[in-house]
Amino acid sequence: MISRRKFLSSFIVPGFGFLFSDSLYFEKFFVETNEFNIGIDKNGNSKVKIVQISDLHLRRVTRHHNKLAEQINSMSPDLLLFTGDIIEKEEDMDQLNNFLKLINHKIEKAAVMGNWERRNKIDLKRLGSTYRKNNCELLINQSKTFMFNGKKLVVTGIDDMIEGKPDFSAAVRKLNREENHIVLCHCPKYRDNIEKETKRINKKRPEDKRLKIDYVFAGHSHGGQVNIFGFTAFLPPGVGNYIRGWYKNSPPYLYVSKGIGTSVLPVRFGARAEIAVFNYYI
């Protein structure tokens, strides 16, 4: 009969060792790529490749971030989206610039604020300038029109729901109906506000001027960051019922990225770091 000590040393201890190495290393640094086709794939439509990066929580540029930039460049995206919490503090700004310089300057980019960037009162002028010199537009309750193969793609960026002052109505005030329109926000729960506000705005507009939001891209949840047997230990405010992946119960459809970095605890378990890729037919 196997002794208790031998059982523990043979099975339990190695098991904990695996969990420890998985949460501290594998799920943090072996970033998975999840790719999706969105829009309508039909004759005459152009494919726009969009890459979403979220919750980088960049403190210093390491070999991991160099590899991440190489991955992004190898994908040759048309548009790169940063959905908040890319840095945490003012002193991280130079590291953000160093990271962005690793990414092909020609790639069009857009970013929104996250709760960490807002909470720590990062200088918005400096942050916006850092993004702009790397061909990235910081959108705070604003919209920007990109052109790809002669077709318009409108990107609306909303301020953080928890620490900022989100204003979807202000962001879309000058917009009419666009055939290709996506929204970026950090907190996935804000997707519900977007749906309600869109309905309210459209009630006051003639049919040909009514907004049509196709997709919302968010982050913030880290995919739960630590999930054990389907149980998520902690979810921050602003997540709601939207933890990871697609939510398509009603338009606008929502995608929640698991992000790449960590906050509070330097571990991931059951929530592997992610790059999301969308082949958007417009």
pLDDT digits (tens, 9 = 90+) for 38-81: 999 888 789 999 999 999 999 999 999 999 999 999 999 999 99
Regarding whether 12 and 115 lie in a shared domain, the answer is: no
DSSP assignment string, 257-269: ---S---SSS--B
Q: Sorting pLDDT into bands at 50, 70 and 90, what band is 20?
A: very low
Same domain, 85 and 130: yes
What's the pLDDT at 156?
A: 99
pLDDT of residue 141: 99
Backbone angles phi, psi at 41, to 5 degrees: -85, 100
Q: 77 and 99 share a domain?
A: yes
**Is residue 193 over pLDDT 80?**
yes
Domain that includes residue 178, residue range:
31-281
Same domain, 10 and 81: no
**What pLDDT sits at residue 225?**
76
Q: How confident is the model at residue 2 (pLDDT cuts 50, 70, 90)?
A: low
Alpha carbon separation from 209 to 26, 169, 191, 203 (Å, rounded) = 49, 14, 21, 10
Task: Answer yes or no: do 11 and 123 share one domain.
Answer: no
Is residue 77 domain-shared with residue 150, that is, in the same domain?
yes
Query: How long, in residues, is the chain?
Result: 282
The count of domains in the chain is 2
Residue 45 sits in the same domain as residue 62: yes
Per residue in 90-114, pLDDT (tens digit) is 999 999 999 999 999 999 999 999 9
In this prediction, residues 202-212 reach a mean pLDDT of: 96
Residue 194, CA atoms < 13 Å, CB-side half-sphere: 32
| Backbone Cα Rg of the chain | 20
pTM of the model: 0.89
Q: Which of 21-25, 82-86, 125-129 has the lowest mean pLDDT?
A: 21-25
Does residue 120 sit in the same domain as residue 253?
Answer: yes
Q: Do 45 and 20 share a structural domain?
A: no
Q: For residue 7, is pLDDT > 50? A: no
* Res. 227: pLDDT tops 80: no
Per the prediction, the chain carries an average pLDDT of: 91
What is the reported pLDDT for 262?
87
Residue 204, CA atoms < 13 Å, CB-side half-sphere: 7
Pair (3, 77) in one structural domain? no
Clarify whether residues 8 and 89 are in a common domain: no
Note whether 63 and 148 are same-domain residues: yes
Q: Cα–Cα distance between 150 and 33 in angstroms, integer?
A: 28
Q: What is the 3-state secondary structure (H, E, C) of 171-205?
A: HHCCCCCCCCEEEECCCCCHHHHHHHHHHHHHHCC
pLDDT of residue 6: 53
Least confident span in 24-28, 119-123, 128-132? 24-28
Determine what percent of the chain is predicted with pLDDT higher than 70: 90
CATH number at residue 258: 3.60.21.10
